[in-house]
Amino acid sequence: MFLFQLSSHTNTAGGPAGGAGPDGLILVGELLVVTAYLIVAGVLFYLALKRDDKERRRVMLLFGFIGLMGGAVHLLNIWGGPAAGDAQLILRLIFGVLALIAAIRLFKAIPGLLAIPSLNQLTRANSKLQEQVEERKKAEAALRETQQELEQRVRERSAQAITANRELEREIENRKKTERRLISTNYELIKKNADLDDFVYYASRDLKGPVLNVAGLVEAIREELPTDNPELGQLFAHLDDSVARINRKLNNLAEVSRIQKPISEEQLGMVSLTEVLDQVKESLREPLQDSGALLRADFTAMPEIYFSRDNLISLLNNLISNSIKYREPQRPLHIFLSSELQDRYAVLKVQDNGIGMDLNRYGQQLFSLFRRFHDHVEGSGIGLYIIKRIMDNNNGKIEVQSVLGEGTTFLLYFVHHEQHTGARV
């Protein structure tokens, strides 16, 4: 293109250059200007080609175009000179208009160009950004620190939790062990109780034979010996008494072991209190007569009780025997039996005017096995124990009221059952 311009210039230079000297200089100046314009336009186009942002590319292209137009106008100066025809003038006009259009277009690009930050702005923004980045980094560092702290705390807490958990597990394990120990202790106790029951039963059973033999042998010896020796008579009396006592104790033990056996359903039924009392009165006829006891009974409020007949006999037998044993010798013995319904209990009351007892002193041990509080009468210390066991075994209870010197009242509470049906209320 430059060569063409040169050649075209040489071609056309003949006219004006041939005219005057300054014309040649003008031509060279024009040529330089065209060259500069074209170089500028080329650079701008090149830059527009390389730039990737739309705004600048457009501006570069417009500037390049204007440069190109400028170059073209100056080129027309070289080519045509002052003698150029109308065509040249028209071309100049077109180029000028095009350049103006481009320049006007350039105006439109101003806001876009203004929007493009300057290097200073960028630097400032950059430094600001860097500051922000720094701050972010600091914040991040602080955050990390906090996080680490938190993690540390979480770890510590977890460690604490794990420790606590282990302690808890140990505690649970300990409790389980204790529980197992308790269960085994309980089992042992049940077994020991059963062993004791068995022992009482077998001891009373197996000792009875030899004791009876001794009694029989004492009798046989008595028959073989002369009867006229008073000293022997005294010895035999003591021997008889001792043997009888052993025998009684064994019978008591046998009775204790008997009531410890659970009662079967068949033994339970509606039992008439009057009938049972008659039976007991019969078996206690002798002591009742000897003591001159006045025995009255009123079972109209509650004539029957759902219970084991044998047990009821044992209860009345023991209570009436007690009233006889612990009667006040200064006054005639009165025993009064009555029954009534109280809430869910059938209550049997045995009241006497005997010597009474100090419940504050003896109440705690009243129902203990082999506990005795008097020595003026023969007793085994099992009567009240048996009563208590019988009531306990049947979900009942026993209460005692007593005034020293005035008398004693025993209250037996039986679980109440509807008459005849046997259904529990």
Partner 1 sequence: MKKLKGILLIDDDDTNNFLNHRLLTRMQVAEKIREFRNGKQAFDYLYNISQGHYDTASSEYFKPALILLDINMPVMDGFEFLSLFEKLDESFRKDVVLALLTTSEHSQDTERAAASSIAYLTKPLTTEKVQGLLEEHFPEFRS
Footprint on this chain of partner 1 (rule: CB under 8 A):
205-206, 208-210, 212-213, 215-217, 220, 254, 258, 310
Q: Measured from the CB atom, is 239 or 400 closer to partner 1?
A: 239
| Residue 70 structure tokens | 């400028």
Query: Which positions ≥6 away from 136 have C-beta within 8 Å?
Result: none
Q: Measured from the CB atom, is 80 or 383 closer to partner 1?
A: 383
Least separation in angstroms between residue 271's CB and partner 1 is 17
| Residue 142 structure tokens | 């602080």
Q: Measured from the CB atom, is 94 or 217 closer to partner 1?
A: 217
Least separation in angstroms between residue 212's CB and partner 1 is 5
Distances (CA, A) of 378 to 26, 149, 359: 168, 86, 21
Distances (CA, A) of 371 to 129, 185, 325, 366, 374: 101, 27, 15, 7, 10
CB 334 within 8 A of CB 353: yes
The SS3 assignment for 343 reads coil
Q: Measured from the CB atom, is 51 or 309 closer to partner 1?
A: 309
C-beta neighbour count of 160 within 10 angstroms: 10
Least separation in angstroms between residue 388's CB and partner 1 is 21
Q: Measured from the CB atom, is 214 or 369 closer to partner 1?
A: 214
Write down the residue that tokens 């277009």 correspond to.
105
Least separation in angstroms between residue 208's CB and partner 1 is 4
CA atoms of 353 and 403, how far apart (whole Å): 9
CB 349 within 8 A of CB 296: no
Q: Measured from the CB atom, is 101 or 215 closer to partner 1?
A: 215
| Parallel/antiparallel/unpaired status of strands 407-415 and 304-308 | unpaired
| Residue 3 structure tokens | 């060569």
Least separation in angstroms between residue 300's CB and partner 1 is 32
Least separation in angstroms between residue 239's CB and partner 1 is 15
**DSSP characters for 68-129?**
HHHHHHHHHHHHHGGG--HHHHHHHHHHHHHHHHHHHHHHHTHHHHHHSPPHHHHHHHHHHH
Residues forming beta bridges with residue 108, ordered by sequence position: none
Q: Measured from the CB atom, is 265 or 290 closer to partner 1?
A: 265
Least separation in angstroms between residue 196's CB and partner 1 is 17
Least separation in angstroms between residue 229's CB and partner 1 is 22
Q: Measured from the CB atom, is 205 or 361 closer to partner 1?
A: 205
